[in-house]
Amino acid sequence: MSNCCSDPTEIPKLDPRDLVREQTRHGNLLRELFTGDPEKLMLHELHEANTYLRELAALRAHYPSVRLAAIGFLEEPNPSDNIADKRESKRG
């Protein structure tokens, strides 16, 4: 078998630097959650969250300020939604 194509059954290789970066981020999140202000941490993480997590925060967040911020983010136009809308308009 040639090496020109990737095998879909082969497990993708993980870069050790990515693993260390995610472990560090996870450790920092846990430290902030238990020693800092959880509301402030949630508001910070909401900035980087995807649409699904923002919808979930808008519906279920414990803190009203987090819910309101999530609703505000959902009302803003999403750049990826704009790209999808442009593709649909070209097809139709």
The pLDDT of residue 5 is 76
* Interaxial angle between packed helices 64-75 and 38-46, expressed in degrees from 0 to 180 and rounded to the nearest 10: 10
Instruction: Note the pTM of the prediction, 2 decimals.
Output: 0.60
Domain count, the chain: 1
pLDDT score, position 73: 92
Q: Using an 8 Å Cβ cutoff, are 78 and 89 in contact? A: no
Does residue 84 surpass a pLDDT of 70?
A: no
Q: Which domain holds residue 62?
A: 38-91
Report the candidate in 3, 73, 88, 13 with the shortest Cα–Cα distance to residue 43: 73
Is residue 56 included in any domain, yes or no? yes
| Per-chain mean pLDDT for the chain | 84
Q: How confident is the model at residue 80 (pLDDT cuts 50, 70, 90)?
A: low
User: What would the pLDDT profile of 19-50 be if each residue is shown by its tens digit?
Assistant: 999 999 999 888 988 898 989 999 999 988 99
In a domain? residue 51 = yes
